[in-house]
Chain A
């Protein structure tokens, strides 16, 4: 496609691509516009509009966002730690051990890709009430810790590691867990990074289950906090709502813009079977 100095086809394609990209980015640009300008400019686009940080300050003071951020941070950390531990052990079992029931158990793991905890809200809520965990951060995290996707992804990675490596470690006297720790985990680092990014962004953004299972400031993650803050009848200015919206997504958005290549590659890696 390159090499030719000018081609109509290529030019039209580039134009269309740019047009779509601008359309795609417009909502975000617009949110930034209203958030950094006074309320009077939320529908008036003049380049000379004065900049202000007041909207962010107003949003920050209007709701306990610091607490919400802390909750989300704890939640995402808890989920990621749990997923890494459980999925690693399970993936290792599926990749390197033969035992009765292996294939049926693996099918049950894959089944979770279809029937996610997200849709079993009614029963999972009952379970949480039974465990007396309603309105706690672990209650938000627990259903997601044994991730079928994570087990599958790590198993695929572990399968590509040559068996000679763990034979060698075995001869040197490494235990089952020792081999996992010294051979498999270090070699699967890119997969852990990919899965970690996907998992963090997914659970940072999760809304429905946290909404159901939390009901106090001390446990609510930012997504639920934001939805309460911007509830239609709250009468808060648009520019302030947009500032809050940007604020809650800022950590992910900034991380994404800084590590764009890694993000995209991680999502790609996570998607290839």
Chain B
């Protein structure tokens, strides 16, 4: 009996490993090994032509600390995260509540909210670019005819460029997050809210005391996604502002792209990527602990 079992086990091992092998090869080749070589290469100079990469120690990191553009971009990314995450999550919840309600035209509502999600960010940027055009863009036309404002160069002014990018991102993301809240709402038993309503609880109370706490796992899932997106979504910057003016709307990944593929400084590009990797892991750890205590409702 035991020998039979151990044969079965051994065979399980081999089957398991063989089934995993192809996926693991690709996973290691394009995610885990590059993540490690990024760290190694961040200590080396950029290889040029025949000259091989030279070990530099911490030189790249010293440069990082002195790099005003890096700090600016990091600050921008923080602002971008603060601007996009709470806003798109809040909007997503409101949208989901509306669409989940038996409201007139909910099919249209759902379609309208979700459509931006299926559009490529690059196409979205093209459409919004025209909205922002000074003078005859739609936003300027509206503000001048309604409030008599003079024309504003939303994307060309360092004070507004990043915010203009944030608006586009929220528009694109909120409908996507709405879907997850919609799924969560449909999983909440109707009897629960029904009972509360009979007890005389207001909509507001029901939301804060029942619905919102029950959706906590979704909020965790969505906000992790939102954080990752705030470091990953840079496509629209290429069209809207190209990082400008004077790096006012550049984000970390965009700066990595510029450093590595416009100036071909791959060594320093690796150093910048290490910062991005660090930030992502820090935030994952932080969020895990922050939400951990409050999430166990299920």
Contacts and interface: CB of A to CB of B under 8 A. Distances in A.
B270 interface: yes
Q: Interface size bucket, A side?
A: 35 or more
A242 interface: yes
A97 B15 contact: yes
Contacts of A113: 228
Contact of B221 (A22, A223, A245, A273): A273
B261 A207 contact: no
Contact of A253 (B9, B115, B122): B115
Interface string B116-155: 1111111110111011000010100100000000000000
Contacts of A188: none
Contacts, number: 262
Contact of B126 (A22, A25, A226, A256): A226
Nearest to B128: A27
Contacts of A80: none
A9 B34 CA distance: 55
Chain A interface, DSSP helix/strand/loop, else mixed: helix
Given A24-B175, A100-B13, A264-B110, A122 B127 contact: no
Contacts of B105: 18
Contacts of B32: 108, 111
Contacts of B281: 114
Interface stretch (A50-58, A62-70, A144-152, A159-167): A144-152
B31 A112 contact: yes
A248 B123 contact: yes
A119 B276 CA distance: 8
Interface string A104-135: 01001101111111111111111100000000
Contacts of A208: 234-235, 253, 257
Nearest to B131: A27
A242 B239 CA distance: 13
Nearest to A204: B120
A102 to B, nearest CB: 7
A119 B122 contact: no
20 contacts: A13-B103, A20-B94, A24-B112, A27-B131, A30-B131, A90-B23, A118-B232, A119-B277, A120-B34, A121-B257, A123-B38, A126-B266, A143-B30, A146-B22, A148-B27, A176-B19, A212-B257, A248-B120, A264-B179, A267-B117
Interface of B: 9, 12-17, 19-20, 22-27, 29-35, 37-38, 41, 94-95, 98, 101-105, 107-124, 126-128, 130-131, 136, 138, 141, 171, 175-176, 179-180, 182-183, 203, 221, 228, 231-232, 234-235, 238-239, 242, 253, 256-257, 260-261, 266, 269-270, 273, 276-277, 280-281, 284
